[in-house]
Chains A and B, each alone.
Chain A
Amino acid sequence: MSMLQPAREVVLSTRDVVVAFGEKVILDHLNLDVYRGEVLGFVGGSGAGKSVLMRTIIGLLPKRQGKIEVFGVDLDAATEEELVAVEQRWGILFQQGALFSSLNVLQNVQFPIREYLNVSERLMDEIAVAKLEMVGLSPDVREKYPSELSGGMIKRVALARALALDPELVFLDEPTSGLDPIGAGDFDELIRTLQRTLGLTVYMVTHDLDSLHAICDRIAVLAGGKVILEGPMSAMLASEHPWLKAYFRGKRARMAMTAEG
């Protein structure tokens, strides 16, 4: 936490967020800030509530208490228009892609553009194809339906759709899960490149140690419903917390590091 540079703009902040299902408290007075232009990796054990926090921030789950601000807008106090404006400035990549199965690739990417922007059919086509090319897909896939795509292609199309409106903040839910190591590496690189070209802020829920090493500027660790540590990789490696030790300095972690050199 000492790593923070005072001048950086906070695009997302959660304060004292409590989320519980019945008696089971998942997030317990959680605080987290995400700064403009960074890639934040959010880690934690399975079932610790990483996805719960993401779903709470984007408004899919209700919270018991606390405050969430995105781009300085308090999402609870925001009017309908303010919420829509915020939603146009963020993009979300769901774990399984969540492509619309009855629309083809091009229509999937165009969907938010068609709904929110009043632009010509030609521009929509050109932008959608440009986005597909940006995520490394050949425009030949434009007519395909999600059921005809491989897992890696689904993730890429979903990323293109998440980026359709040129959002400032992108949520990625386990972007590399289900991809082979080479595909996962490529995807990491793609996220990094896009983040630099488009000036994105990335909030990434992940389990992939390689991704954490390769592209995250900062890592936040969730345990017991709270963020127990946030900082760069070096801070993670220096920590003596038993879970962190096991996670970042376990066998798989060492392999990930050796692979990196």
Chain B
Amino acid sequence: MNDDSVLRSRRDGDRLVLTALGPWTAVHAHNLEPVIEAQTTNSQPVRAVDIDLSQVKPLDTFGAWLIERLARAFSARGAETRIVGLPEDYRGIVDEVHGANLKPAPVPVETSRILVTLDTIGSALVSVSNGAVLILRMLGAVSKALGRAILHPTKFRWTAMVVHMERVGWHAVPIMLLVTFLIGCILAQQGIFHFRKFGADIFVIDMVGILVLREVGVLIVSVMVAGRSGSAYTAELGSMKMREEIDALRTMGFDPTEVLILPRIVALVISVPLLTFLGSMSALYGGGLVAWLYGGIDPDVFLSRLRESISMETFLVGIIKAPVMAFIIGIVASVQGLQVKGSAESLGAHTTSSVVISIFLVIVLDGFFAIFFASIGI
């Protein structure tokens, strides 16, 4: 990089004359900056500096700022600095940057590593407890809205609820049937493969029946619903929050919980048990099919064995969990949706949290249910 091609320097007694040449614009800034840098770090004593701009063409903010930076550096060293030969066209821009950047940039505060680590741990804990409080608060708000809806059924948004049931329930049927069917097939296949070694193939039917009805049906459906509908709820509520639609509702005297959240949660609470039922049936069907085609167990045998191994209780234990799971998914999705701040990134982060937290809670709850049913002996 030849410095002389953009900035020629000449000594005139104790006066330094710098002549800028050629284009001083944005696209050349990466070449100009080192030249300016070299001039400002050059420590030769200098009494006065003339910066000659008569041969610059064109000049834009980038160039003008670099000139300004040069001038300020010399002034700071006590040299008398002048800008000479400034073409009239560029006077405006040179004057403009002369007043720029006078305030020093804020210096980031140095903090120790340990403090940062402690701070991270602390704020993570606080955010977990805040999350729990928010979920409790949402539970309260939804219960209140639900109570009001029971007292005044005409006030409840039936249309919205039906629309949401169509979206989270009816439209989810094909994918739920397919996924649970495949899970049923896999369970049966694995069971037969391993049980056959000690001649216990027939117990596959017990295993598939109990596992599907008690645990797998509701778990798979809940996880799917959390991913499919919980995320949609969060994204919808979040973007409404971003566009101030929720504030608008509030100022018109509506309670967003009543208008937006309750119908969504009720729709989930009704749809998820139905989906769980359909899913469990589909999984049993898949299990039966594999038992027949892969394990050589006739459908009649499968059905009669199934009748013996499961009871109404088995089915109820599974299905009773479904509305609870739906409720918690809905609550988490709504909490996260209302937490969205202005940016697109925040919407993404909260949608992610919504899905992760609801799946986590679904599994934790399932564990509690298992302990509960075990202790009451079902």
**Chain A interface (Cβ < 8 Å from any Cβ of B):** 88, 101-102, 113, 117-120, 123, 125-127, 129-131, 133-134, 139, 143, 145-148, 163, 165-166, 196-199
Q: Known contacts A118-B30, A125-B105; can you find 8 more A-B pairs with CB under 8 A?
A: A88-B27, A127-B61, A130-B101, A139-B103, A139-B105, A198-B61, A198-B92, A199-B89
Type the 1/0 row for B152-179, where 1 means its CB is closer than 8 Å to any CB of A. Answer: 0000000000000000000000000000
**Pairs of residues from A and B, 5 with the lowest C-beta to C-beta distance, nearest first:** A147-B342, A197-B92, A101-B343, A102-B345, A130-B100
Which chain B residue has the least Cβ–Cβ distance from A163?
B61
Q: Verify A166–B92 contact, CB threshold 8 A.
A: no
> What are 20 of the A-B contact pairs (CB < 8 Å)?
A88-B26, A101-B343, A101-B344, A102-B345, A117-B26, A126-B100, A127-B62, A130-B61, A130-B96, A130-B97, A130-B100, A131-B61, A133-B100, A145-B342, A145-B343, A146-B342, A147-B341, A166-B61, A196-B92, A198-B60
Which chain B residue has the least Cβ–Cβ distance from A126?
B101
Q: Verify B342–A129 contact, CB threshold 8 A.
A: no
Q: If the complex has contacts A126-B69, A129-B105, A197-B96, are A117 and B27 also in contact, measured as CB distance less than 8 A?
A: yes
Q: How far is the CA of A165 from the CA of B69 in the complex (A)?
A: 18
Type the 1/0 row for B21-41, where 1 means its CB is closer than 8 Å to any CB of A. Answer: 000011101100100000000
Which chain A residue has the least Cβ–Cβ distance from B60?
A166
Q: Is the interface of B mostly helix, strand, loop or mixed?
A: helix
Q: How far is the CA of A166 from the CA of B97 in the complex (A)?
A: 13
Q: Verify A101–B93 contact, CB threshold 8 A.
A: no
Q: B277 contacts which chain A residues (CB < 8 A)? A: none
Partner of A119, one of B30, B344, B346: B30
Least Cβ–Cβ distance between B229 and chain A, in angstroms: 25
> Among A88, A130, A165, A199, which residue has the most Cβ atoms of chain B within 10 A?
A130
**Number of B residues whose C-beta is below 8 Å from A?**
31
Q: Verify B26–A101 contact, CB threshold 8 A.
A: no
Q: Verify A129–B100 contact, CB threshold 8 A.
A: yes
Q: B60 contacts which chain A residues (CB < 8 A)? A: 166, 198
Q: Verify A117–B29 contact, CB threshold 8 A.
A: yes
Type the 1/0 row for B333-344, where 1 means its CB is closer than 8 Å to any CB of A. Answer: 000000001111
Q: B25 contacts which chain A residues (CB < 8 A)? A: 166
> Among A88, A131, A143, A166, which residue has the most Cβ atoms of chain B within 10 A?
A166
Q: B45 contacts which chain A residues (CB < 8 A)? A: none
Type the 1/0 row for B246-257, where 1 means its CB is closer than 8 Å to any CB of A. Answer: 000000000000
